[in-house]
Chain A
Amino acid sequence: MAHIAHDPAGGISDATRTVYGHYRQQIRTRRVYSIIALVVFAIVLALSLNFANAANSGKFFERLPYLLDFLRSFVPNDPLEIFRAMFDQPSPYADGSMKYDFTSQRMYFTDTLYVPHFIYELMVTVNIAIVSTIIGGGLAFCLCFFAATNLVGAGAVRFVVRRIMEILRAFPEIVIAGLLTAILSIGPIAAIFAVSLHTIGALGKLFFEVVENADMKPDEGLRAVGATWLERVRFGMLPQVLPNFVSYTLLRTEINVRASTIIGAVGGGGIGEAFRLSIGNNQAAKTYAIIILLLVTIIAVDQFSGWLRRRLVGNQAFEFGRGAA
């Protein structure tokens, strides 16, 4: 917005002219800085892209046509195949290979009642997410009060608790999963552990920030009548922070559903593993069945948790900080 005065010489005093000169000067400096920042940014981006391309086993422009070919060839024999794969119905193209074998992995409850394989795996994944959120959220709830400045006077306690949360948040999930897989063999427990530990760190941070922003007047009142620390937390703090805690926990459930699919793919079991196998073995119908199931599940979980959040805490914008969680 440098076009304010087109004719600075026309009838303004020397003082105004000096101010105007300084203003122009500032604008110019700012532009120069912006341009330098943009150029540096562009260079870093170009270098990064170049490095990424060089480090990749296939080069971007060489492989692009193959990607399109892959998409074109990766289609099931007919659209109904996808739903047969989804619900474990026999395929008319069955030739004994795993690609068209939709029925052998049914989970039978009784002789006739069965749960389709992928839906069972999806249940595993969703349950991993929910259990991890409960365990991680519960522990984060216990820890968060010890990390809040307004509740804990001892700096050492706060420091230790916060560092523990930070480490849990940053610790690579696959290492926890991998270590437990080595001990307990492949299965959902490794995934539960990995996701829970991460949840403690992530939710703990959000929780204690909520606690620190709480109104301290109820706490003062309770302190005045001689309440213990536990009573102050229970009656002074909890009623204020609980809605936000619930909201963040629901948000975390959404994130954990995604996290548990990914962890599943590296050895936690569940739908992630099934997806990795099906796309790796070129089984188009199964792959699309899983994509549809995952899409529906994630949308359903997001919608349900959004609805619950709105009911419990009203229409607050909790999108902020979503990335931090």
Chain B
Amino acid sequence: MSNGLTMDAGDRARLKATHAAVLHKPWWQRWALLIGLVVTVLYLGFCYAFFNVGPAFENGKWDRAALYLQDWYSWRAQPRLKVADGKVTATWSSRGQYPRDARIDWLTPHEDGSMTVTFGGAGDRLEVTPNLVVAYVGGNPHEIAIGADSVTAPADAPRAVQQDGSKVVVDYGFAGQAEVRTNQVYVQRRFLGWANFWFDTHSAYWGRNPLEVIQLMFSAERIDPARSNFDTAVRDFLNNGVWQHGDILSKLLQTLVMAFVGTLLATLFAFPLAFIAARNITRSRPVNWVMKRGFDFLRSIDMLIWALFFTRGFGPGPIPGIAAIFFTDAGALGKVYAEALENVDDRQREGVKSVGASPTVVNRFGVVPQVLPVFISQSLYFWESNTRSATVIGAVGAGGIGLKLLEAMGTNSDWDKVAYMVLLILMVVFVFDNLSNALRSRLIGQRGH
């Protein structure tokens, strides 16, 4: 060991001879990582072709994607400005965010029948008259003439003012855009936040700031003589026609009930049967085998199949969801429970047996105290995971918040509502995760799980 860091040829030969297995691995073991990577890349390439990823991305509606994502955190007011009796008037769709005859600060009608639409600053605005629209972009006016069968943009128009067939599109970025057509000006004005989230336009609370709302809620003067102002506020909130808070919260509760009841019933069902499936407790191989294959069968049928089957039977709602979770998890929990039972310490059972206890008492005092923490911990894990999967189960037809989400996404214009429901779901999942973690550590202490 004079110069311990270098080896001579003899040492090397000796090492090679004693550890041949380490130094001379077969080639496929030495290159395993590289081979694995190449195979994976080849496989991903195959799937790229198999799933037509390239063409799908090319044909994707990416311009709409930005719009949909903006809808998550902002809202659009979409009046159509039409000319009637020489005056420009705004008409709203049924989903309009303003009450009838409301004073809107970005939409000012003038004495002469024209109308001004402002997009953010004073330099970005639209002056609409019956046959001429002047678009101010960054302070510069651009005259857009409305003809009988086409609208023409000026020749020197910037990028923001563009001719699109017979109409002209004026783009103000996030603040919105306007389409000038021959018969109308279709304005889209975008604002940050969710419109009318607390109260819709039919409510007496609409358009007030939070302080005023709270004041009004507790003031003695009743809006509706039949009930207190607080009651009115709660009713108006829950029955908000645009956001449907009451409906969404009730659907959310349905989803939670699905997960809770499904997991609980599965636990109650799997608990006794696991004792029959465990081979150290029920000493009959055929019975163990039948029970375990039964669990495997329940577990292997996809939750989707159960869900759709029971939706056919019971109609949409929480019952098919409960049934689907119950049947899948009864199998999964039964399997896990039986495995836990097979790993119990036999000495405690022997001790109870040696004082002459009946089999039931042996299991009650010799087995259950050992496995109960594991059982409960597993069930809590399943409960957590089911709180998440109940959403998807709902979407295939079992109802609950999943179906509501699917409906909201189907319209392609309710992305703000989707965002709201996603937030609710995330909050609930976090609360339940922490709740189940707290329960678990209380019940079984900090060890292991």
Q: Do A and B come from one complex?
A: yes
Q: Which residues of chain A have a CB within 8 Å of any CB of chain B?
A: 1, 44-45, 48-49, 51-53, 55-58, 60, 63-64, 66-67, 70-71, 124, 127, 130-131, 134, 166-167, 169-175, 178-179, 181-185, 187-189, 192, 258-259, 261-263, 265-266, 272, 275-276, 279-280, 291, 294-295, 298-299, 302, 317, 319-325
Whether, in the assembled complex, B78 has its beta carbon less than 8 Å from a beta carbon of chain A, the answer is no
A-B contact count (CB 8 A): 208
A187–B51 CB distance below 8 A: yes
B381 in complex: contacting residue of A53, A258, A324, CB < 8 Å: A324
A56 CA to B51 CA in the complex, in Å? 38
Q: Can you offer 17 A-B residue contacts whose CB atoms are under 8 A? A: A1-B365, A45-B261, A51-B254, A51-B318, A55-B250, A56-B320, A63-B315, A127-B50, A131-B44, A172-B422, A182-B412, A262-B389, A265-B304, A295-B301, A298-B300, A302-B300, A324-B381
Chain B 285-322 interface residues, beta-carbon cutoff 8 Å to A: 296, 300-305, 308-310, 312-320, 322
Q: Which of A53, A63, A169, A182 counts the most chain B CB atoms within 10 A?
A: A182
A279 CA to B302 CA in the complex, in Å? 14
Nearest chain A CB to B124 CB, angstrom units: 29
A170 in complex: contacting residue of B56, B302, B412, B425, CB < 8 Å: B425
Q: Which residues of chain B have a CB within 8 Å of any CB of chain A?
A: 40, 43-44, 47, 50-53, 56-57, 59-62, 64-65, 68, 250, 253-254, 257-258, 260-261, 264, 296, 300-305, 308-310, 312-320, 322, 332, 335-336, 339, 343, 365, 378, 381-382, 384-385, 388-389, 391-393, 395-397, 399, 402, 405-406, 409, 412, 418, 422, 425-426, 429-430, 433, 448-449
A105 CA to B415 CA in the complex, in Å? 35
Nearest chain A CB to B356 CB, angstrom units: 13
Beyond A63-B319, A170-B388, A179-B68, list 5 extra A-B contacts (CB 8 Å): A56-B317, A67-B310, A171-B422, A265-B396, A323-B381
B254–A275 CB distance below 8 A: no
B318–A183 CB distance below 8 A: no
B313–A48 CB distance below 8 A: no
- List chain A residues, Cβ under 8 A from B396: 262, 265-266, 272, 276
Known A-B contacts A52-B319, A319-B335; A295 and B40 likewise in contact (beta carbons under 8 Å): no
A52–B317 CB distance below 8 A: yes
A291 in complex: contacting residue of B51, B258, B260, B301, CB < 8 Å: B301
- List chain B residues, Cβ under 8 A from A321: 381, 449
- List chain A residues, Cβ under 8 A from B52: 187
A178–B51 CB distance below 8 A: no
- Label chain A's interface by main secondary structure: helix
- Label chain B's interface by main secondary structure: helix
Known A-B contacts A48-B257, A67-B314; A173 and B392 likewise in contact (beta carbons under 8 Å): yes
A172 in complex: contacting residue of B300, B391, B412, CB < 8 Å: B391
Nearest chain A CB to B2 CB, angstrom units: 21
B382 in complex: contacting residue of A175, A298, A323, CB < 8 Å: A323
Q: Which of B301, B312, B332 counts the most chain A CB atoms within 10 A?
A: B312
B422–A175 CB distance below 8 A: yes
Closest partner residue, chain A, to B402 (CB atom)? A174
Nearest chain A CB to B29 CB, angstrom units: 13
A285 CA to B421 CA in the complex, in Å? 38
A48–B418 CB distance below 8 A: no
Known A-B contacts A45-B264, A174-B405, A187-B56; A52 and B365 likewise in contact (beta carbons under 8 Å): no
- List chain A residues, Cβ under 8 A from B418: 175, 178
A116 CA to B399 CA in the complex, in Å? 32
Top 6 nearest A-B pairs (CB, nearest first) are: A56-B317, A323-B381, A67-B313, A58-B315, A57-B315, A178-B409
A323 in complex: contacting residue of B53, B384, B448, CB < 8 Å: B384
Nearest chain A CB to B335 CB, angstrom units: 7
B392–A172 CB distance below 8 A: yes
- List chain B residues, Cβ under 8 A from A57: 314-317, 399
